């Protein structure tokens, strides 16, 4: 579920309660995609800084608290890089109940508990000494610019597309040219821009590239407004589901009429992912 809007909705829900919170304990459940890289006990005594987002990753800075640092392990600086995978969500619990079978990470602070629920366990929580240090730096290395970065312009976007010979849908999913779109929003943005998902990136004209960037931005912005998409698992930090899925024009609507021309929405598998599109409205 978690594409950029869902991750950002999550960030907005946890940033305020976490800012300045002191870590009292950390708990691991079943293994996630990657190991934490530190003993949970080593996190105790740290203070959480301002939570940020890069693509679909969240960064929770953890600073050593000088007044509380009593042991060598408490002198650490760094943070936790969190990814929600396919089915992850983070919840903020002033009073956390006993962990359920899919609760695989708890960061217990003096104010409340940040809890990762992730049935499929494709998510990850990784300790890193900084965003510019491994493993964080390695994981973020190939990410393209943020979709709302003003430095990403129609011109630079088009130039980046010109370098690639891969189908545009796959390229959007890769996050190498612009981050944030997953399967839902890639399909929706391409529909809105009237571009066929199989069109090879370097054959997209400058005006169409401009159209696509605008479509991606408006799709992501709209999803953000309504709390993201909830297909099954996703909820914000306070348990509220997203509503964007109800507004999707093509995603998950195989056989249903295209909202623009009423011809049936097609589904085809592209790079092992379902792609939904309208054959009439989206041209190569």
- The residue among 166, 189, 228, 156 whose CA lies nearest residue 4 is 228
Q: How many residues bind DNA, per CB under 7 A?
A: 48
70 catalytic? Reply is no
Provide the token pair at 167: 């189908």
Nearer to DNA, 45 or 88 (CB): 88
> Which range touches DNA (CB under 7 A), out of 28-36, 68-76, 217-225, 256-264?
28-36
By the rule CB under 7 A, 219 interacts with DNA: no
Provide the token pair at 257: 């009429």
> Which range touches DNA (CB under 7 A), out of 19-27, 68-76, 206-214, 226-234?
226-234
End-to-end CA distance of the chain: 28
- Catalytic site residue from 12, 54, 273, 279: 273
By the rule CB under 7 A, 228 interacts with DNA: yes
Query: At 176, phi and psi to the nearest 5?
Result: -85, -20
Quick one: the chain helix, strand, coil %, rounded to 5? 30, 25, 50
134 membership: H or E segment, kind and range: none
* The one among 229, 236, 278, 281 contacting DNA by CB under 7 A: 229
CA gap 139, 85 in Å, rounded: 13
Site string for DNA, 160-189 (x = CB under 7 A): ---xxxxx--x--x-x------xxx-----
CA 31 remoteness from chain centre: 20
CA gap 62, 130 in Å, rounded: 10
By the rule CB under 7 A, 119 interacts with DNA: yes
Q: Which residues are catalytic?
A: 2-3, 56, 273
Which residues make up the interface to DNA (CB under 7 A)? 1-3, 6, 30-31, 33, 55-57, 83, 85-87, 101-102, 119-122, 139, 142, 163-167, 170, 173, 175, 182-184, 200, 228-234, 242, 245, 270-274
């Amino acid at each position: 579920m978690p594409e950029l809007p869902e991750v950002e909705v999550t960030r907005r829900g946890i940033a305020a309660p976490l800012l300045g919170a002191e870590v009292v304990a950390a708990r691991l459940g079943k293994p996630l995609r990657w190991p934490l890289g530190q003993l949970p006990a080593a996190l105790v005594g740290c203070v959480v800084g301002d939570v940020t987002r890069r693509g679909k990753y969240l960064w929770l800075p953890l600073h050593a608290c000088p007044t509380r640092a009593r042991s060598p392990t408490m002198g650490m600086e760094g943070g936790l890089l969190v990814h929600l995978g396919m089915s992850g969500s983070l919840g903020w619990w002033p009073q956390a109940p006993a962990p359920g079978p899919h609760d695989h990470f708890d960061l217990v602070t003096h104010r409340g508990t940040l809890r990762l629920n992730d049935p499929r366990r494709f998510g990850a929580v990784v300790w890193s000494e900084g965003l510019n240090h491994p493993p964080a730096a390695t994981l973020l290395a190939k990410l393209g610019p943020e979709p709302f970065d003003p430095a990403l312009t129609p011109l630079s976007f088009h130039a980046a597309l010109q370098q690639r010979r891969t189908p545009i849908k796959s390229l959007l999913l890769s996050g190498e040219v612009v981050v944030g779109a997953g399967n839902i929003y890639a399909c929706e943005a391409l529909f809105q821009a009237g571009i066929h998902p199989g069109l090879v990136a370097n054959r997209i004209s400058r005006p169409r590239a401009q159209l696509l960037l605008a479509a991606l931005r408006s799709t992501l912005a709209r999803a953000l407004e309504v709390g993201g998409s909830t297909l099954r698992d996703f909820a914000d930090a306070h348990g509220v589901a997203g509503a964007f899925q109800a507004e999707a024009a093509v995603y998950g609507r195989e056989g249903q009429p295209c909202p623009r021309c009423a011809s049936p929405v097609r589904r085809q598998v592209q790079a092992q992912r379902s792609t939904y599109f309208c054959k009439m409205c989206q041209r190569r």
